[in-house]
């Protein structure tokens, strides 16, 4: 038996931005991992000295995938500076647009970016469900793939109606939103959402949202899977059957620590309930033990990142973005910083939301299995089932409260500091701003992929997906499919973690290897 260690690169096309993952494989098992953002992130420095409101225009343009999420974080940071709370109807409109973007991302990522690998005949030709996987997920041809593109396209209508335009809506402003919705527009949103819900229930769940919400334990999940052919043939059912047979519930463990900033503030009067004023609760979880979230415990460590700062770790309200592509050889290896919560590495994303929010199904599964690829992806596949009912309720409430306030006047942005912390599709997103003389004195952004794709910190603790890769078996080092699954279960998106672009991108010259 060989004892040699082989270092290989994990091919990760389909991760926007510049991401390289290298792993050491010893006796067919990954023994170490390094995740590297390969382009300089200088986005925050563009903001310094600009007008107080400029974050509303600049930050949504960081990313074409989650522009609304950045807009929301930017406006919530300014709300915090002004101390003005958006009126109920404004909050409903903001939430609805953000939720539409999140659901679109969940459905697309699941089918077009994760389950598409099930159609890889080289990797899964001998899998018992290989043929069906190919029919469903083959790129540009799979029945599920094409349906997902069509159906998620319709969700954009909600954003465009609420935002008044698409792309590049700027309808969120400090104090509320720029306009209210006509009754006909609310009805149009409801029609689009009801149509999407019906499709999601039939295609993704094979049952109603209510039936899925009754699945609250690992035993319930098995019972649900066996209950009907519709459940087994749904995307969730097929995912479970395929992924388990492929052993994906046995890889991708990680730190077993989770962070959610919480998200979607509740209107003061609403039939939708949540935790501490938000639909999605905030917290830090060590396994299934959930503790309250303290934003002061966030620090950015640059020990292994190509940046320099006065202290090894600094809170984002003070941390700067000073590139330093030098230092002790080999210690620094990424343009992504290492955010830490209470000085520990954490993962964020849909699974973290489920755990922090005390979802009984995911608590039970986590206790039984520990974190793994299947759990992360199952959380993403089923998150729309949590969001859709609240969206429909808020649309109904917008209709019932038509004519209500949508804006509280904000004439100037005072000196001060604020933060916009919420859950983007990929996890915890934060914008920190300091205003001096109506200008931006300091701006800092920590994206979900910065949390999940961070390099090591001062204590040499690995980032979330670096750690999740440890122990993963690699059958063929030339095609490390298993490692790709692990990283992709975090839905990496480095365009806003590392703000740049590679040559030829817009003509489709994806330079990283395909074949996963």
Partner 1 sequence: MNSRIICIGNRLIDRDMAGLAVFDRLQAMDMPPGVEVIEGGLAGLDLLPLLEGVERVVFVDTVHGFTDSDQVVLLDREQIIGCLEGVHYGHEAGLPYLLTVLPKVCEGRMPQDIRLVGLEDRCTPEGIVRAAALSLSLATRDTGES
Binding site for partner 1 (CB under 8 A): 13-17, 43, 46, 58, 61-65, 67, 108, 112-113, 116, 139-141, 145-146, 149-150, 153, 156-157, 166-168, 493, 495, 499-501, 503-510, 514
Nearer residue to partner 1 within complex by CB, 166 or 358? 166
Q: Which two tokens stand for residue 482?
A: 């298993």
Tell the smallest beta-carbon distance from residue 424 to partner 1 (Å).
13
Tell the smallest beta-carbon distance from residue 67 to partner 1 (Å).
8
Contact predicate 486/373, CB 8 Å: yes
Nearer residue to partner 1 within complex by CB, 47 or 282? 47
d(CA 65, CA 168): 11
Nearer residue to partner 1 within complex by CB, 145 or 278? 145
Is the preceding peptide bond at 273 cis, omega within 30 degrees of 0? no
Tell the smallest beta-carbon distance from residue 465 to partner 1 (Å).
16
Nearer residue to partner 1 within complex by CB, 60 or 206? 60
Tell the smallest beta-carbon distance from residue 158 to partner 1 (Å).
12
Nearer residue to partner 1 within complex by CB, 282 or 516? 516
Tell the smallest beta-carbon distance from residue 229 to partner 1 (Å).
27
Question: Interhelix angle for 183-199 vs 373-400, to 10°?
Answer: 150
Nearer residue to partner 1 within complex by CB, 46 or 218? 46
Tell the smallest beta-carbon distance from residue 514 to partner 1 (Å).
5
Question: Interhelix angle for 130-137 vs 143-163, to 10°?
Answer: 40
Nearest Cα to Cα of residue 66 among 376, 425, 391: 425
Tell the smallest beta-carbon distance from residue 240 to partner 1 (Å).
23
d(CA 165, CA 159): 8
Tell the smallest beta-carbon distance from residue 436 to partner 1 (Å).
23
Tell the smallest beta-carbon distance from residue 153 to partner 1 (Å).
5
Tell the smallest beta-carbon distance from residue 66 to partner 1 (Å).
9
Nearer residue to partner 1 within complex by CB, 138 or 385? 138
Nearer residue to partner 1 within complex by CB, 12 or 298? 12
Q: Give 22-27 contacts, CB < 8 A, sequence gap 24+.
A: 23/469, 23/474, 23/480, 23/483, 25/474, 25/477, 25/480, 27/1, 27/2, 27/3
Q: Which two tokens stand for residue 220?
A: 């319930």
d(CA 86, CA 175): 5
Contact predicate 77/52, CB 8 Å: no
Nearer residue to partner 1 within complex by CB, 90 or 440? 440
d(CA 15, CA 459): 28
Nearest Cα to Cα of residue 422 among 141, 193, 91, 27: 91
d(CA 516, CA 482): 9
Nearer residue to partner 1 within complex by CB, 151 or 260? 151
Nearest Cα to Cα of residue 232 among 127, 87, 129, 82: 129
Q: Which two tokens stand for residue 15?
A: 């991760």
Tell the smallest beta-carbon distance from residue 365 to partner 1 (Å).
28
Nearer residue to partner 1 within complex by CB, 291 or 501? 501
Contact predicate 335/498, CB 8 Å: yes
Contact predicate 481/127, CB 8 Å: no
* CA dihedral (374, 511, 127, 475) positive or negative: negative
Q: DSSP secondary structure string, 41-96?
A: --HHHHHTTSBTTTHHHHGGGG-SSSHHHHHHHHHHHHHHHHTPPPPHHHHHHHHH
Strand partners, 444: 432
Tell the smallest beta-carbon distance from residue 501 to partner 1 (Å).
5
């Amino acid at each position: 038996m060989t004892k040699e260690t082989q270092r290989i690169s994990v091919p990760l096309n389909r991760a926007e931005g510049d991401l390289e993952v290298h792993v050491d494989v010893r006796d067919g098992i990954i023994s170490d991992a390094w995740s590297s953002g390969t382009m300089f992130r200088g986005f925050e420095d563009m903001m310094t000295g600009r007008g107080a409101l400029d974050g509303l225009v600049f930050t949504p343009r960081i990313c074409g995938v989650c522009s609304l999420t950045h807009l929301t974080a930017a406006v919530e940071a300014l709300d915090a500076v002004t101390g003005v709370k958006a009126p109920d109807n404004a909050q409903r409109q903001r939430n609805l647009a953000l939720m539409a973007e999140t659901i679109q991302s969940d459905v697309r990522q699941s089918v077009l970016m994760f389950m598409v690998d099930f159609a890889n005949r080289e990797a899964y030709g001998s899998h018992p469900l290989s043929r069906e996987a190919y029919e469903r997920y083959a790129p540009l041809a799979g029945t599920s793939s094409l349906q997902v593109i069509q159906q998620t396209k319709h969700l954009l209508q909600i954003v465009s109606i609420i935002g008044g335009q698409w792309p590049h809506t700027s309808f969120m402003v400090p104090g509320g939103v720029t306009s209210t919705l006509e009754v006909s527009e609310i009805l149009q949103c409801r029609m689009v959402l009801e149509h999407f819900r019906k499709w999601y229930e039939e295609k993704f769940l094979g049952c109603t949202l209510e039936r899925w919400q009754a699945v609250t334990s690992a035993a319930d999940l098995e019972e649900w899977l066996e209950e009907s052919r519709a459940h087994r043939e749904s995307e969730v059912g097929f995912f479970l059957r395929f992924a388990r047979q492929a052993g994906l519930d046995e890889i991708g463990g990680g730190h077993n620590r989770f962070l959610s900033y919480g998200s979607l503030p509740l209107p003061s009067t609403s039939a939708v309930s949540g935790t501490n004023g938000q639909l999605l609760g905030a917290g830090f979880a060590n396994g299934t033990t959930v503790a309250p979230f303290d934003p002061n415990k966030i620090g950015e460590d640059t020990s292994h990142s190509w940046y320099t700062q006065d202290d090894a770790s600094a809170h984002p309200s003070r941390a700067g973005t000073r590139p330093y592509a030098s230092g002790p050889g080999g210690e620094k290896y990424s343009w992504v910083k290492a955010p830490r919560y209470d000085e520990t590495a954490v993962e964020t994303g849909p699974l973290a939301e489920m755990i922090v929010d005390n979802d009984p199904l995911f608590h039970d599964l986590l206790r039984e299995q520990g974190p793994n690829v299947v759990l992360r992806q199952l959380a993403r596949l089923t998150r729309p089932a949590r969001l859709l009912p609240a969206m429909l309720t808020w649309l109904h409430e917008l209709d019932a409260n038509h004519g209500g306030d949508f804006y509280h006047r904000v004439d100037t942005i005072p000196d001060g500091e604020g933060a916009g912390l919420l859950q983007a599709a990929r996890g915890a997103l934060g914008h920190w701003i300091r205003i001096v003389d109506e200008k931006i004195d300091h701006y800092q952004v920590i994206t979900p992929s910065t949390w999940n794709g961070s390099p090591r910190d001062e204590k040499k603790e690995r980032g979330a997906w670096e750690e999740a890769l440890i122990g993963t078996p690699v059958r063929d080092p030339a095609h490390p499919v298993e490692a790709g699954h692990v990283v992709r279960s975090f839905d990496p998106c480095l365009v806003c973690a590392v703000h740049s672009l590679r040559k030829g991108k817009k003509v489709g010259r994806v330079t990283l290897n395909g074949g996963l």
